[in-house]
Structure 1
Amino acid sequence: MTGSVRLVTAAEIARLAEVKPAAVSNWRRRHPDFPAAERRMGREVYPAPEVAAWLDHRIVAEKDRQPTEDAGITYGIRFRRNLGSPERVAPPPDTGRRLWRAFAAYRNFGGINGTEASMLAFGLLYLRFHDASRWSELRELRYAPDRDLPRRADDLVNSALLAGGHEPLPRHAWTTGGPSADHADLATAIQILDRLDPSSGPDGIRDAPIAGWLADDLLSRFAAADGRRGHLTPDSVVRLAVRLTNPIGGERIHDPFCHLGEFLVGAVDHVRTRCGAPAKLKVSGGTVGHLGWLAGMNLTLHDIATREVRVEPPLYRWDTQRRFDLVLTNPPFNMSDWTDGYHVGDLRWRYGIPPRHNANFAWLQHALALLTEGGRAAVLMPHGAGSSENSRERAIRAAMVEDGVVDAVIALPPQLFHSTAIAVTLWLLRGRGSDGDDDVFFVDAHAAGTMDGRNHRVLREEDLERITAAYRDRSTFTSGDVLSRAVARDRLRDDGYVLNPGRYLIAASAPVDLDRNRADADDLRHSLRNLLQRSIDSHERAERQIDTAADLLYGTPAGWSRCQLGEVCDVLAGPSGAVSSGGGNSSDVPVIKPRNISENRIVRDHLDFVDPSVAETLDRYLLAPGDVVCTRTGEIGRCGLVTEEHDGWLLGTSCLRLRPDASLDPSYLVFYLGHPRVQRWLVGNAGGSTVRSLTAATMRALPLLLPDTDRQRRIGAAMGALDEQLAIHDRIRRTTSALRESLVPLYLQDTLLDEAPEEI
């Protein structure tokens, strides 16, 4: 798909078709012919022409028509009418990734930290999109001697910031760090930015300024690279909090610990998406150190003019005369020594003075103190805050419940943050005097989301919708991984005011179909018997193969040769561009990605697919039996053998294909690549400063110890038989686990438990 085709997000489809976002979600879920989404620059987008054509077949119901609309009008007509503006020139789809690589390389060679690199990136973004004159001067300077470029770039950025009424860059470590030759990476970043059209949105996405999108993309990449040193609140968590609190135009919104301004940007984006320009929307926040500069610049790059960011100590007492309609915040968890005194006279501690060793309930009360009468707040808290047995915290929690200021508590899954793997909860609070129910609403979404890489989880759009729907309907709710239930104050009182959702949501679980469970248990027992027999057969085969190669276990190898892998094996890296996914139809071609390589085998779990027409254009990447597929990014060196089952599958982007010639047995190559010393060589020779990566050239240079073909075959067969055993044992483990889960409700007779949930 070319960049000139306009792409729109699901939220934009809803706005352009004048329906609620849930309607678009229903269309996507219920209609297989709905246009397929593509992942572009971190966002799910849809080709606008295809969406319009699909909507042409859906007539707007009479009750949903506007007074000026005729009978028979389709959603497609609405969509085209509101789409309006001409097509925009889109930047290349890999702009964010290429820009990140340039900044990451400069950061690595320049010896600067993630915060400094982020500030430099934001300064250049500001210069590119807010000062054409000075940017033209910088564009010419990238051809100047390298040693002058960082200093001159710093001067130009700061003069542009001062001219625009902003604070200059607070630090200048990038102007002196690293050898001058490495400043070519800075020139590369300037060149990438120079090629962008300042008036366009990412890949033509309307109402998404490219400067703001690039700021979001770079921040998320810096957060992933910095790991536990990162500051960023995950985008999916921001979107959830904003949807649940639903800011509207004209409101005053505040974040007392705004990090890099994520919640404030999310609130403004929410209003823009639903209402157009956020009329009279005012946002403000407090943060610490250099984050204040980054937060202010982040808001500027998102074209948010009415804002105020202060650098101030945590829990600083904001002017008591100022109140806000909405408070959103992700404060530091479990902050100790947060005050030199207990501030006995501080009116914020209406519900009790928080303990000095932990500021969690100081932040909750601080947020409440900032609210107008009838205001609302969303505050992220560690999971333990809802059940802390500290006497002061338990008393504060009880007083908040009794005063009716705790609206809801939502349990979120672990691994959402790059900076910590712990599970968190989102507390929804309401200002004193607000109308509300005499209960607390609980949502348990701890099992929601999907893994994005090995150590990071994200909440999907459907997760956000289910949680939002549960909160909006405020009733016992079960949908996939989301459970919810309102709990009366009397019950909370009896339970010691514990506010952890899992304590109360057994009754909200879906009813169990006992007949289905019995059938599943029978099928699983049959599968387990077959697997156990296969395990016995596999063990016997492995024993025979090991016996066949027994003579290789003794004596000194003779006649072995040494060479480089590239001399006996063709090495090919996967396609460099993103490949559009098909729907997994029978005619679609599977794509092997790193997640499909396990225990030296290729597995079908979570396969992606492409349309056959796409595969034809990538025929040089099609796999054949005897090929070996190896991961080249992330967990480097994992490999799997291509068998007849995988003939004609497609090599994925993050993999290498190794195609041995007749002198190299594929099974032996798989065994050799798994040797600890070979693994150390691969990791040690991988490139990249943050995400390690193997190139095809590096893999070709791998030293290879090569016995004669008979020895290779016998070694490969013995090790392959053991790999087969490992795979079968893994299936036995998973099948046994599934059998246990099927038997539990049968033995406990869950139908009886459902009748008396309060007694559990």
Structure 2
Amino acid sequence: MSPELPPVVVTLAEIARIAGVGRAAVSNWRRRYDNFPSPVGGTDTSPQFSLPQVEEWLRRENKLKAALNPLDRLWPEYESLGNREATGLLVAQVGLWQSGVKTGRPTAGPPLDQRQRHLLERTLELAKQDEEHKIFDLLMERWLRAHVRQVTTTPVQLAELMAQAAAIKHPGPVRTVLDPACGVGTLLVAAGRRWGADHAAGLRFLGQDIDTVLVELAKARLAVGGFTERDLSNVSLAAGDTLRADAHPGVQADVILSNPPSNERDWGHAELATDPRWVYGQPPRTEPELAWVQHAAAALAPGGVAVLVLPPAVAARRAGRRIRAGLLRSGVLRTVIALPPGAAPPYGVGLHLWILCADGAPGRGGADGAELTFVDTTHAAPPASADKGGIDWPAVTAQITEVLSGTGAQGSISVPVVDLLDDQVDLTPARRVPRTRAATIVDLRRLWTRFDAHMRELRDAANALSALVPVNDDETVSLISVGELERAGALEIRPGQGLPESLVRRGERQEDGARVLTGAPLSGQAQLWLPATAVATGEQDGSLTVTASQDVIVSVLARAFDVWVDTDAPSVLGPQLVALRANPAVLDPWFLSGCLCAPANVHRAGTHASTTSRIDIRRLHVPRLSLEEQRRYGEIHRKITVFARELTDMRSVGGELSRALGDLLAAGQLPRA
């Protein structure tokens, strides 16, 4: 007989996922239906509900948009286990059992209790027909998403690129692969795919991580990734602090792939002061990344190759210049590659790849001819935002592999080591790699055409605005709040809502798609959009907030407050945005937009207690004016908007022009006067 399980609770977001709707739709159900289940826990802002009661209500009211996904039914039970460790270890067990590497109990952590065993059995029953191990992949994806602030993972595309780079620099047989900071094993899995044919030859995979749960998940990923139980006998993954207590002392690895932790101050600086790994100098306390670099260099076999992901500051910080100089003099550091921002967490930073080669590795000249190769991929790839979807991985991979294999030189330069050994020892690729090409006459004329167009628009707007003269009138204009306008029916307030992540697309928008806005418009962000069918369905069931022409959009976060008229409707608004739909018979949208963004108005409506403070939009005020006067003021605001936009665009184009002319000047390609 199955054991009786404690009650399982779900949040509003989980109910929305089970029902296949947006969270706002669930909130609407709570308000509209008196028989909606009452909360059984949580708080007023984040209530929790009984899962069996919710399921019964959804079926009774016919609110399920599709057949109930069994995984959506099971995941709340995983979360209800109570802590990150228990949930992660159980997810790892699912992967090991599903792949045939069965164990009577976890290799780490306490034995499974009755509830966990029952949940594991139900999951494995569900996974019997899952030959592609999608159940484990989905469970792990949700676990990582739930703990994204605690766990940093290496994107699969970057892991594949690193393995490919190592294979180019180490063309010979590989016997040992090491990741001293393996996390959930993404790099080891990529290595397994790259050198998988060598399993039978006794290829060893070694890894270590300070987080026991991540080590167990890494074991499960290797098992799911095609490693048989016999193959796993050559896999050694250990939990522990690699720098303080290396689980693989004396190892000689042919390939090291690692994305070590960064910016950690408590990495063992004092107790490791005399460590023999510090061949190039003891790393300063503020340079933990150089400790990992030297650890990797010490663990390389003759001819071995290491590829490490490092923050860009490691290439230039003054405290690490002596160690960088030592790595250059010894010939260990061969290549520094600058990746575009968005390649890996933190996504707003352009990370570096350092490639180390131990003595005996091919491709190195004598001491007199020693060189360091710099590669800057930011020139070959489109600019990326802090969103993962902005990287053109095929272009980045092609550029790096061509440079490493010697078949191309785009965005790269090889600099003699002696030229780098100055007071700074700055190894930043952007300061060494020249631009890929100078501007052509076509480029210049296109830029001048754009500049002239913006100049004309700016001049027209400036002429209209410069003719305006302030009116010295002592008469006080009465004000009316947005809340009062709403109650009077002059406008509707439509808050943005949570977005269906599985449906949101990134990149170039299709013609019938609607753009998705998640905050104040910022240049350089990867474009988000939703297909027309999803927009129509979401607007119909109330799960999406979709704008119409001339709606006023307000970004309500105090630190990013902004107001603008949506001239590119329809747009789908995220939770930090609000749409104001004005009644055109009584309220002009451009007048409304211009008044709402006034600094004094914002100060009155916002608390400004922290960066997460929100503007109370109903407390914003606008003057009481006739519709005719509103339209006149609205037209002025429209011209101010055009003036600001053209000024920004002209500054951008002017910057491109000045850089292009500067490059031509430096290359001696401008005609003499």
- TM-score tier (shorter): 0.5 to 0.7
- Alpha-carbon contact 2:206-2:237 (below 8 Å) kept: yes
Is 2:280 aligned against 1:348? no
1:136-191 per-residue CA deviation (whole Å, 9 max, x = no partner) reads xxxxxxxxxxxxxxxxxxxxxxxx9983332226999xx9xxxxxxxxxx9xxx99
SS at match of 1:254: strand
Q: Partner residue of 1:125?
A: 91
State which of 349, 358, 364 in structure 2 corresponds to 1:431.
358
The one-letter amino acid of 1:529's match is M
Deviation at 1:353, TM superposition (A): 4.8
Structure 1 residues 405, 171: closer, same or farther in 2, change over 3 A?
A: farther
State which of 661, 666, 674 in structure 1 corresponds to 2:589.
666
SS at match of 1:164: coil
Q: Partner residue of 2:39?
A: none
- Alpha-carbon contact 1:360-1:381 (below 8 Å) kept: yes
Cα distance in 2 between the residues matched to 1:460 and 1:663: 49
- Alpha-carbon contact 2:375-2:400 (below 8 Å) kept: no
Is 2:308 aligned against 1:379? yes
Deviation at 1:741, TM superposition (A): 2.2
The one-letter amino acid of 1:377's match is A
Is 2:372 aligned against 1:440? yes
Structure 1 residues 660, 316: closer, same or farther in 2, change over 3 A?
A: same
The one-letter amino acid of 2:295's match is H
Structure 1 residues 165, 632: closer, same or farther in 2, change over 3 A?
A: same
- Alpha-carbon contact 2:399-2:408 (below 8 Å) kept: no
Paired residues in the alignment total 571
Deviation at 1:443, TM superposition (A): 0.9
Deviation at 1:472, TM superposition (A): 3.3
- Alpha-carbon contact 1:562-1:705 (below 8 Å) kept: no
Mapping of residues 476-555 of structure 1, within 5 Å: 477-478=409-410, 483-489=411-417, 491-492=419-420, 499-506=427-434, 509-520=435-446, 522-540=448-466, 543=468, 554-555=476-477
Q: Partner residue of 1:166?
A: 107
Structure 1 residues 236, 451: closer, same or farther in 2, change over 3 A?
A: farther
Q: Partner residue of 2:237?
A: 308
State which of 374, 398, 401 in structure 2 corresponds to 1:466.
398
- Alpha-carbon contact 1:565-1:702 (below 8 Å) kept: no
Structure 1 residues 565, 370: closer, same or farther in 2, change over 3 A?
A: farther
State which of 629, 641, 651 in structure 1 corresponds to 2:565.
641
Cα distance in 2 between the residues matched to 1:105 and 1:665: 49
- Alpha-carbon contact 1:593-1:653 (below 8 Å) kept: yes
Q: Decide which moves more: 97-106 or 404-413.
A: 97-106
SS at match of 2:147: helix
1:378-410 per-residue CA deviation (whole Å, 9 max, x = no partner) reads 1233434445555xx555444443443223111
Deviation at 1:562, TM superposition (A): 1.9
The one-letter amino acid of 1:295's match is V
Deviation at 1:374, TM superposition (A): 2.3
Q: Partner residue of 1:293?
A: 213
Cα distance in 2 between the residues matched to 1:239 and 1:459: 14
Mapping of residues 65-464 of structure 1, within 5 Å: 116-117=83-84, 119-126=85-92, 163-168=104-109, 198=127, 207=132, 209-216=134-141, 218-219=143-144, 222-223=147-148, 226=149, 231-233=152-154, 235-246=156-167, 251-268=175-192, 281-288=203-210, 291-301=211-221, 303=223, 305=232, 306-312=235-241, 314-333=243-262, 338-340=268-270, 347-354=276-283, 358-387=287-316, 394=321, 396-413=323-340, 418=345, 423-438=350-365, 439-446=371-378, 459-464=391-396
Identity %: 18
- Alpha-carbon contact 2:337-2:429 (below 8 Å) kept: yes
**Larger proportion of helix:** 1
Deviation at 1:522, TM superposition (A): 3.8
Q: Partner residue of 1:36?
A: none
Deviation at 1:367, TM superposition (A): 0.9
Cα distance in 2 between the residues matched to 1:104 and 1:389: 47
Q: Partner residue of 2:646?
A: 728
With structure 2 as the length reference, what TM-score do the two structures score? 0.66
SS at match of 1:593: strand
The one-letter amino acid of 1:461's match is W
Deviation at 1:642, TM superposition (A): 3.7
1:506-564 per-residue CA deviation (whole Å, 9 max, x = no partner) reads 2xx323244235424542552353134123134247x37x75xx769725448998254
With structure 1 as the length reference, what TM-score do the two structures score? 0.59
Cα distance in 2 between the residues matched to 1:214 and 1:426: 30
Cα distance in 1 between the residues matched to 2:597 and 2:665: 44
Mapping of residues 568-607 of structure 1, within 5 Å: 568-570=490-492, 576=500, 578=503, 588-589=511-512, 591-594=514-517, 598=521
SS at match of 1:366: helix
Cα distance in 2 between the residues matched to 1:706 and 1:98: 50
Cα distance in 2 between the residues matched to 1:736 and 1:743: 10
The one-letter amino acid of 2:456's match is N
- Alpha-carbon contact 1:375-1:431 (below 8 Å) kept: yes
The one-letter amino acid of 1:504's match is R
Q: Partner residue of 1:144?
A: none
Cα distance in 2 between the residues matched to 1:106 and 1:678: 45
- Alpha-carbon contact 1:560-1:705 (below 8 Å) kept: yes
Q: Partner residue of 2:550?
A: 626
1:277-301 per-residue CA deviation (whole Å, 9 max, x = no partner) reads 898554332332xx12333234325
Q: Decide which moves more: 662-671 or 560-569.
A: 560-569
The one-letter amino acid of 1:477's match is A
Cα distance in 2 between the residues matched to 1:640 and 1:728: 15
Q: Partner residue of 1:60?
A: none
Cα distance in 2 between the residues matched to 1:300 and 1:330: 19
Cα distance in 2 between the residues matched to 1:487 and 1:736: 32
Cα distance in 2 between the residues matched to 1:310 and 1:560: 57
Structure 1 residues 443, 96: closer, same or farther in 2, change over 3 A?
A: farther
Cα distance in 2 between the residues matched to 1:434 and 1:521: 47
State which of 731, 739, 752 in structure 1 corresponds to 2:657.
739
